[in-house]
């Protein structure tokens, strides 16, 4: 058994991504136990704080997706409890979780990202939906990609290929958040690049290429086995793969992230990657991209998770 002591894997919560988070939490707990770590999955509810105070864990692995899991809130609570955890600090999470803000930061760092418009629901209604949407199409062109400015798992996200489809896409987006991010859609190869830092600085894992059966990597395509074909490593030229790795590490660093992250991007027909968004708590389910990247690197997921927890525990002790 590991001398790490007992650790908690936080999963569940109350976001739209609760079920995915529970699956991620079970997977991380299983691989940690296989790696000799005494790991226990813990839901995030009113019992969490008393439980942690009564029996402080050596470290916490956060597998919460969306909402408080990625916006820094739960990490702020862990900081108040003086409990070390794997992943970015709360301040960095707040920046990375808000997609328009993250795009601004990485653009300032020199990364290519699609032109976009950020539109709160109130502005959308107050200024007249029709006039605003017409101007967006004139400005950005078609096709477009519409998604909530905060959140994940492609909930509320859709591709818009005609101006007539934009209003319904906006309605679907606002069902999952109060602010929409409307981007110019880039045709190309969808790729995810995971980054891990085990103490020697952030390093990119092999890129994972995503090929959904219906052409859209939506919620069902992400979490239903057989709905999406994955290639790890991605079928990219060496030059394009290197550019993707560099983009992911640069985004990780520019956003002030820590331990692990996953950057989603599109590689266009000229082999140029475009930054889409970054995930501070990558999914760990059987169909998630971070574990695929780990496997493609010929490493063991349990060993990496254990090392990240040991690193977090050392930070806490310091």
Catalytic residues: 17, 153, 223, 262, 264, 277, 279, 283
Helix (H, G, I), strand (E, B) or coil at 11: strand
Angle CA 301–307–312, to nearest 5? 125
Say which residues have a Cβ less than 8 Å from residue 254's Cβ, sequence separation at least 6: 105, 106, 108, 109, 111
The first and second tokens of residue 315, run together, are 């930070």
Contact 180, 224 (CB under 8 A): no
User: What are the DSSP calls for 13-72, one per residue?
Assistant: -SSTTHHHHHHHHHHHHHHHHHTT-EEEEEE-STTHHHHHHHS--S-EEE---SGGGTSS
d(CA 68, CA 44): 10
* Chain centre to alpha carbon of residue 293: 14
The first and second tokens of residue 190, run together, are 């969808």
Q: H or E stretch including 136?
A: helix 129-140
């Amino acid at each position: 058994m590991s001398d790490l002591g007992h650790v908690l894997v936080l999963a569940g919560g109350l976001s739209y991504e609760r079920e995915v988070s529970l699956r991620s939490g079970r997977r991380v707990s299983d691989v940690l136990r296989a790696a000799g770590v005494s790991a226990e999955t813990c839901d995030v509810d009113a019992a969490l704080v008393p439980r942690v105070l009564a029996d402080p864990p050596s470290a916490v692995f956060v597998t919460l997706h969306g909402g408080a899991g990625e916006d820094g809130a739960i990490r702020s609570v862990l900081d108040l409890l003086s409990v070390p955890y794997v992943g970015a600090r709360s301040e960095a999470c707040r920046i990375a979780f808000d997609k328009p803000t993250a795009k601004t930061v990485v653009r300032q760092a020199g990364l290519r990202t699609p032109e976009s418009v950020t539109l709160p629901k109130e502005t959308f209604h107050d200024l007249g939906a029709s006039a605003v949407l017409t101007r967006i199409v004139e400005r950005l062109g078609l096709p477009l990609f519409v998604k909530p400015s905060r959140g994940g798992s492609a909930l509320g996200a859709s591709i818009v290929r005609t101006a007539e489809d934009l209003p319904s896409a906006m309605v679907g987006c606002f069902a999952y958040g109060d602010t929409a991010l409307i981007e110019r859609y880039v045709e190309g190869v969808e790729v995810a690049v995971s980054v891990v830092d085990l103490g020697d600085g952030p390093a990119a894992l092999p890129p994972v290429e995503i090929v959904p059966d219906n052409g859209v990597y939506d919620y069902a395509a992400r979490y239903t086995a057989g709905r999406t074909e994955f290639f790890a490593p991605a079928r990219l030229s060496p030059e394009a793969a290197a550019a993707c790795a560099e983009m992911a590490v640069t985004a990780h660093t520019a956003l002030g992230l820590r331990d692990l992250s996953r950057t989603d991007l599109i590689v266009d027909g000229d082999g140029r990657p475009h930054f889409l968004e970054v995930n501070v708590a990558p999914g760990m389910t059987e169909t998630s991209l971070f574990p695929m990247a780990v496997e493609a690197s010929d490493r063991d997921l349990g060993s990496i998770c254990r090392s990240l927890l040991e690193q977090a525990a050392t930070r806490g002790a310091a």
